[in-house]
């Protein structure tokens, strides 16, 4: 069993034999406890990290990894002299590239070339290679790419800066961009963006990171750091399908729980009321709620314009405000430019959890679409208001509730109204 350091010290260490795994405690403002834990360890493939909220679970994970590392080192002592010599020669041949990554890239290249790898390379050199090839480390490519995007007036904070700095600061950051292979990048992405408490990234997060990497690698190709006619490593990575999301039913709130939520936030956290009202009565996404301005809400005419729509969705779409929503918004404090603070959605969910009011993931948006589709009887109208495709609405939200339930949902007004 591993020995843990004294509880007062952070980071803590778990040692098994010569293996050492560290546990860091970091602040996590959105978490229930305000902190989370990062388990970190080194292997021949580089540094690995895993986020775990619970301290005891993090310690248990550290012990598990320390035992695995120690077992691996014990096995290495049982290798023959020839095995050690072959491994040393392999590392020498691979140079700065991890041996396993080099073999994976070699295997992929042989598969693509049909086994005639040298012939394919000679053909490429004769026809496509440049006499003055440039090279750049991933971390430097990220910095230059972000600088170029800012110079173009592109807001990178909500997009590239959420993904690329982690690539820059990770173990791949010190490698030349041209040596990183498809499998190596995909494996790192799954691990680096792993969901808290799990070993892999969520499919949606993985696909988002892949898109950012595709843009970065294409920029590198345009700048002459990669071959002009070759497909880049991120382009070779297949997107991941969220199987669980396709199989699990949509989670929505019941009408009584929706009414209880409105009353609770009105009484206990009125500053958050506008965010809750627009989420449940207008179906806006979390990112859209964070940027919604009072100036884009017209209570007299009964509609709002989405101030900042999600990318690849109808920009600044018009959403009707039902009479009940108008009544709730009329009693909200409309001081300030935005309808609420950026953390409003998270705090609303926290309040509902404390009050034991069921609120599944994305429940307010899912509920709006479900009840709106039932009340209006129109998939096309609902999809336009929600900023979704009719295909998505038809597949996931149709027939979840009755038309009568839809009318009741959009008819809940403040008690004094």
Q: Measure the CA–CA gap between 190 and 211, rounded to whole angstroms.
A: 14
Whether 14 and 69 have beta carbons less than 8 Å apart is answered as no
Check residue 125 and give its pLDDT. Answer: 66
Check residue 246 and give its pLDDT. Answer: 47
ω into 11 cis (within 30 of 0)? yes
Q: Report in angstroms the alpha-carbon separations of 107 from 26, 40, 111, 210.
A: 40, 30, 6, 22
For residue 297, pLDDT beyond 90? yes
Q: Mean pLDDT across the stretch 227-244?
A: 80
Check residue 248 and give its pLDDT. Answer: 52
Check residue 310 and give its pLDDT. Answer: 63
Residues in the chain: 417
- Tell me what the pLDDT averaged over the chain comes to: 84
pLDDT digits (tens, 9 = 90+) for 251-261: 889 999 999 99
Check residue 304 and give its pLDDT. Answer: 92
For residue 247, pLDDT beyond 60? no
0.85 exceeded by the pTM? no
Residue position matching structure tokens 């589709």: 373
For residues 231 and 270, which has the higher predicted lDDT (pLDDT)?
Answer: 270
> Does the CA dihedral 404-353-272-264 come out positive or negative?
positive
For residue 6, pLDDT beyond 70? no
Check residue 234 and give its pLDDT. Answer: 94
Q: Measure the CA–CA gap between 414 and 262, rounded to whole angstroms.
A: 8
Produce one character per residue of 295-319: b if its CB has 16 or more CB atoms within 10 Å, e if not: ebbeeeeeebbbbbbeeeeeeebeb
Whether 349 and 359 have beta carbons less than 8 Å apart is answered as yes
* Whether domain 255-409 has CATH 3.40.720.10: no
For residue 78, pLDDT beyond 80? no
Count other Cβ atoms within 10 Å, centred on residue 387: 20
Q: Measure the CA–CA gap between 266 and 332, rounded to whole angstroms.
A: 9
Check residue 75 and give its pLDDT. Answer: 53
Residue position matching structure tokens 């509730």: 401
Confidence of residue 169 (pLDDT cuts 50, 70, 90): very high
Q: How far apart are the first and last CA of the chain?
A: 65
Question: For a pLDDT cut of 90, what percent of the chain falls above it?
Answer: 41
Beta bridge partners of 35: 27
For residue 104, pLDDT beyond 70? yes
Q: Mean pLDDT across the stretch 95-119?
A: 80
> What would the two tokens of residue 268 be?
């206990």
> What would the two tokens of residue 387 be?
């900023």
**H or E element, residue 41:** strand 35-43
Tell me the range of 54-63, 98-107, 123-132 where mean pLDDT is highest: 54-63
| Helix/strand/coil percentages in the chain, nearest 5 | 55, 10, 35
User: Rounded to the nearest 5 degrees, what angle is found at the Cα of 43, between the Cα atoms of 40 and 48?
Assistant: 30
pLDDT digits (tens, 9 = 90+) for 381-390: 888 888 888 8
DSSP for 366-389 reads: HHHHHHHHHHH--HHHHHHHHT--
């Amino acid at each position: 069993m591993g020995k843990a350091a004294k509880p007062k010290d952070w980071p803590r260490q778990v040692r098994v034999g010569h293996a050492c795994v560290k546990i860091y405690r970091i602040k996590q403002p959105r978490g229930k406890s305000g902190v989370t834990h990062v388990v970190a360890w080194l292997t021949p493939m580089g540094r690995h990290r895993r986020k775990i909220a619970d301290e005891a679970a993090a310690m248990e994970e550290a012990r598990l990894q320390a035992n695995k590392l120690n077992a691996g080192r014990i096995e290495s002592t049982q290798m023959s002299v020839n095995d050690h010599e072959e491994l040393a020669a392999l590392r020498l041949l691979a140079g700065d590239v991890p041996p396993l990554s080099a073999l994976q890239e070699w295997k992929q290249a042989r598969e693509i070339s049909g086994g005639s790898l040298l012939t394919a390379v000679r053909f490429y050199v004769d026809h496509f290679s440049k006499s003055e090839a440039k090279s750049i480390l991933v971390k430097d490519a990220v910095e230059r790419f972000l600088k170029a995007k800012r110079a173009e007036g592109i807001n990178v904070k909500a997009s590239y800066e959420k993904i690329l700095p982690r690539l820059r600061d990770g173990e791949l950051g010190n490698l030349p961009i041209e040596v990183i292979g498809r499998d190596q990048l995909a494996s790192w992405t799954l691990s680096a963006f792993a969901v808290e408490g799990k070993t892999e990234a969520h499919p949606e997060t993985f696909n988002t990171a892949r898109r950012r990497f595709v843009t970065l690698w294409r920029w590198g190709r345009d700048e002459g750091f990669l071959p002009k006619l070759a497909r880049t490593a991120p382009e070779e990575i297949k997107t991941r399908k969220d199987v669980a999301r396709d199989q699990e039913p949509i989670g929505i709130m019941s009408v009584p729980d929706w009414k209880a939520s409105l009353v609770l936030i009105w009484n206990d956290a009125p500053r958050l009321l506008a965010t809750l009202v627009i989420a449940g009565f207008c179906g806006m996404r979390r990112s859209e709620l964070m940027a919604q301005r009072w100036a884009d809400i017209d209570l007299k005419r009964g509609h709002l314009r989405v101030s900042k729509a999600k990318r690849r969705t109808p920009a600044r779409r018009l959403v009707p405000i039902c009479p009940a929503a108008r009544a709730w918004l009329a009693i909200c404090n409309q001081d300030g430019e935005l309808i609420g603070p950026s953390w409003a959605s998270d705090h609303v969910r926290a309040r509902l959890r404390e009050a034991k009011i069921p609120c599944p993931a994305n429940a307010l948006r899912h509920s709006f679409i479900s009840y709106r589709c039932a009340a209006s009887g129109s998939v096309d109208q609902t999809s336009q208001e929600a900023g979704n495709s009719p295909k998505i609405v038809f597949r996931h939200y149709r027939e979840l509730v009755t038309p009568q339930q839809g009318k009741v949902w959009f008819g809940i007004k403040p008690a004094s109204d």
